[in-house]
Amino acid sequence: MTYITSDLLRTIRLFILLFVVVSESSTLFSTEISDLISGYNNTQTVIKDLKVTEVKDTSAKFSWVVNSVSNEWKNTTIYVFPDKNLTTNPVSGCHVTDENAEQTCTAENLFSNTRYSSLCVVFEKSANVSLARIDFQTTPQKPHNLKVSSRTDISISVSWEIPENEVTTSPIRYIVKATGADQECASEESKSCKIMSLTPNTAYDLTIEACSVDNLSLCSEKSGIVKGFTTPAAVQDLQVDNVGSRKAIFSWSDIPNGSGELKNLTVYVFSRGSSKNETVNKCYVIGSNINSMRTCTAMALSPNVQYSATAVICSNDDYGCSVDSNAVDFQTAPPAPVQITAGAIGTKYIEVRWTPALIQGFDGYQVVAIPLSGNPQAKPQTCNAAASEKSCVIRNLQSATRYTITVVAYIKTSDGKTLYGDTILFLNLRTDVETYFRNIIAVFILIPLFILLTFLILFALRNRIPALHRLFNRKLEVDIVPGPMTTISFNDAKALDQQFQLDFLENPQDLPPTSNQVKKFSTELI
């Protein structure tokens, strides 16, 4: 006994079905096709709701309902013809043999982006034939090799390739979409387009599909996702805040972050008239300081030179760098003198001298005296000198006041502003004391000294000048003895011939202890 497997039975059955389809189709289109087509409008069809449920670039899926009470039909076949040309041989088809009321089948091996007409033919067991017709169009083929060709902070340009066997008799529109941004671009003739109005420094998922221009809902499958990144926004409002002889300080406006992380911002300084590729110096800030500090200083520049500057901001590797910012022009200031010294100093003026570092290419010098003592509300005083001069006198100063003195070179810029150089050297000087102040010092110091000197001279001459005897050579001694008697004696014998009067107190026994009497006696009586 020989056993036949289920797979073998299925294969044999499929072969028989294909043979029936081929034989019946050949017979139909060789002998009866004209009659079927001519009687199409008068045929009582049992086919209901015939429609194309899914269309691809090389296939079309049909569905329908066989409306027969007796359910006496043998099979149903879909024949696909070129557009509105039912008299030629079919280019494709599909066959159904089951007896279910709701039926589907798919016609394969079609051409993309092509219009077709199809006939649904139901062969009944009673030899009757029911027909239904529907027209459709296949979708274009899916583009491939979608890639980003260029990008800016607000746009991404893409390109793609079209399959070589694509049918182009009907116009095709290629649509590229940026997921998450609701932005897209489209092209019908070229193989590239640009998506605009995107957010700077942001990642997007890009896809492309091909759609029929006549029916934009008839589109191919979408391509695989391609990542696209916008660059950071260009630095806005780059400007020079301050310029010295060898440095320049730059600032800029706030920069949007986007989904990428800002990495660094670099300001490139180059000679005016050249490009960023010939940078002579640069400064940069990194990370969060880009928006928090918003300033950097380029050092080691040459004095009295015209420069230009531009800025570039970069994110991580996928996002890249921005385009160059606006360019700003500036000029460094002249250099400071190499040495400064003090000349003549008065009560109201100070002469300042210097050794220049540069003898041409600038307009002059300015000397500034800032008070360190004296009147705290006093304003700094200045004097100017031509570029060829090497000294200047600062006037209208306060007497006996200490000043800090600096010398800077300056130049007039093209916009009429004055550009001052760096302050490197300085002097600390004090103005002289005024004359009236000196006289006061003399009054308080010299007069006491004169009085003391005069007294010492008179004391030294006391024995030689008779008039000084009474001042320096007499010594009066008074001995007071308790009791009723008081004795007065003179030690100077030379004064006995002179008459003078002495006052002394007498305390008689009969007077109370608290009573005093003053009696006057002449020297002659004594």
340: which 2 tokens? Answer: 């400064």
Phi, psi of 290 (to 5 degrees): -60, -40
pLDDT confidence of 122, banded at 50, 70, 90? Answer: confident
- Given a cut of 60, whether residue 304 has pLDDT beyond it is yes
User: How far apart (Å, rounded) are the C-alpha atoms in residues 370 and 193?
Assistant: 66
- Average pLDDT score over residue span 370-388: 88
Residues 6+ apart with CB under 8 A from 477: 489, 491
Burial of 509 (0-12, 13-18, 19+ CB in 10 A): exposed
All domains in the chain, ordered by first residue: 16-137 (2.60.40.10), 144-229 (2.60.40.10), 240-331 (2.60.40.10), 339-433 (2.60.40.10)
**Whole-number Cα distances in Å, 406 to 18, 231, 365, 421, 497:** 108, 48, 10, 11, 82
Residue 208's pLDDT is: 96
pLDDT confidence of 171, banded at 50, 70, 90? Answer: very high
R_g over Cα of the chain: 60
User: Rounded to two decimals, what is the model's pTM?
Assistant: 0.63
Residue 499's pLDDT is: 47
Residue 445's pLDDT is: 82
Return mean pLDDT, the chain: 81
pLDDT digits (tens, 9 = 90+) for 424-451: 788 999 998 776 666 677 677 888 888 8
Of 99 and 144, the structure prediction assigns the larger pLDDT to 144
